[in-house]
Chain A
Amino acid sequence: SAVISQKPSRDICQRGTSLTIQCQVDSQVTMMFWYRQQPGQSLTLIATANQGSEATYESGFVIDKFPISRPNLTFSTLTVSNMSPEDSSIYLCSVFMAELDDGLGSYEQYFGPGTRLTVT
């Protein structure tokens, strides 16, 4: 299993500013994933953060708006830049861990508690 923590848990920010969200995992993982959950909507993958290489962004998300750092195998940050009210969301960090005892070679996805961002 994996235990994921995020900081901050919530914040209220003014438009035009930036916020950096931290994600810490208690195990070493190759990939860390950042999701966004806008009010009343489902989770949408923003990007995949790989240690030692550039993050891979999904369609509709760009590095200038959501720069990501991945300095080691247990930590990542996501910055929401030049914020607008449309960026008000819950941002979640996620990892996959191999389920070694299920005999299926499968992985389980774990999520952080989320960072609730409100942009005024």
Chain B
Amino acid sequence: AQRVTQPEKLLSVFKGAPVELKCNYSYSGSPELFWYVQYSRQRLQLLLRHISRESIKGFTADLNKGETSFHLKKPFAQEEDSAMYYCALIEPGGFKTIFGAGTRLFVKA
């Protein structure tokens, strides 16, 4: 069955420290992988997707098909990065999004 696993419910780091939010997926094929972010009192929004291979707000994520992982990384965390982060996958050509349980990132001053 398709599944997205985010093992950490809460991740707390100091400002300036590197951060890595883990995501593993279970899917027999080549899904599209995404990271969504929800800042306090804001709606859920797309942060980045694996096919565009871009860095958004200093965050990057590399799809590792061998490990079926799509970890989100940032070398130097900022306080404004504090938010809820969701990893998600979609079947190619489809519109059904499967979300992970989410990781709350707290960046301390």
**Chain A residues close to B by CB (< 8 Å):** 31, 33, 41-45, 48, 58, 92, 94, 96, 102, 104, 106-114
Residue A96 contacts which of B43, B52, B95, B101 (CB distance < 8 angstroms)?
B95
Interchain CB contact under 8 A, B102 and A42:
yes
Residue A43 contacts which of B45, B46, B86 (CB distance < 8 angstroms)?
B86
Query: A1 vs B85: C-alpha distance in the bound complex, in angstroms?
Result: 21
Interchain CB contact under 8 A, B99 and A43:
yes
Query: A41 vs B102: C-alpha distance in the bound complex, in angstroms?
Result: 8
| Residue total for B at the interface (Cβ-Cβ under 8 A) | 16
Query: A44 vs B45: C-alpha distance in the bound complex, in angstroms?
Result: 16
Closest to B51 in A: A104
Closest to B86 in A: A42
Interchain CB contact under 8 A, B95 and A104:
no
Interchain CB contact under 8 A, A48 and B43:
no
Residue B52 contacts which of A42, A44, A106, A112 (CB distance < 8 angstroms)?
A106
In the complex, whether B56 has a CB less than 8 A from a CB of chain A is no
Kindly list chain A residues whose C-beta atoms are within 8 Å of the C-beta of B68. Answer: none
Query: A27 vs B84: C-alpha distance in the bound complex, in angstroms?
Result: 27
Interchain CB contact under 8 A, A102 and B52:
yes
Interchain CB contact under 8 A, B86 and A111:
no
Query: A104 vs B50: C-alpha distance in the bound complex, in angstroms?
Result: 12
Q: Which of A41, A45, A107, A109 has the most CB of B within 10 A?
A: A109
Residue B43 contacts which of A41, A44, A114 (CB distance < 8 angstroms)?
A114
Q: Apart from A43-B97, A58-B96, what 4 extra A-B contacts exist at CB < 8 Å?
A: A33-B97, A106-B49, A106-B51, A109-B46
If A42-B101, A102-B52 touch, does A111 touch B43 (CB 8 Å cutoff)? yes
Query: A100 vs B99: C-alpha distance in the bound complex, in angstroms?
Result: 25
What 0/1 readout, one digit per residue, does chain B (22-62) give for beta carbons within 8 Å of chain A? 00000000000010000000011110010110000000000
